[in-house]
Amino acid sequence: MYETFEHTADLGLRIKAADLPTLFSEAGRGLTSIIVANVDQVRPVRAVNIVLPSAPLDELFFDWLTEILYVFESEHLLLTEFEVSIENTGLKAVARGEPVDESRHWLEHEIKAVTYHGLKVEQTADGYLAEVIVDI
């Protein structure tokens, strides 16, 4: 589950999940939902492999979201479905989505950057909780 929250001129993203792969997957979808208002209309027709080296969990989370934003900015791909695997060697994922189609996708916010401000990823009694602020 993900939700957004207001943060001065920025926007926050809070994610709760039972396990790390789900946390990262929901965070990716949540980030895309900030970019496009009708995220459910994005079809998983193109796959992108994402591989990130091992890092502390909060840094890996930051790198993950930054990579999704990079794919959007460089290839104009909206990614909404994620198969994530996290091991000692790092993160491997297959992300699926489609190129922006302005006749079908309602672009909502331009994300300038994922920030370290307020970044947290922590284990809870129910699984995991993450919060991140994006500069819009």
Structural domains of the chain ordered from first start: 2-135 (3.55.10.10)
What is the reported pLDDT for 1?
78
Of the CA atoms within 13 Å of residue 99, those in its CB half-sphere come to 3
Give the DSSP letter of residue 107: B
pLDDT at 78: 98
In which residue are the tokens 């996708």 written? 105
**Residue-level pLDDT at 4:** 72
Cα dihedral sign, 123-127-49-113: negative
User: Could you give the CA distance from residue 100 to residue 76 in angstroms, rounded to a whole number?
Assistant: 6
CB atoms within 10 A of CB 88: 5
Q: Quick check: 41 and 78 in contact, CB under 8 A?
A: no
The H or E element containing residue 29 is helix 20-35
- Per-residue pLDDT tens digits of the chain, which is 136 residues long: 777 766 666 899 999 999 999 999 999 999 999 999 999 999 999 999 999 999 999 999 999 999 999 999 999 999 999 999 999 999 999 999 999 999 999 999 999 999 998 899 999 999 999 999 999 9
pLDDT for 9: 64
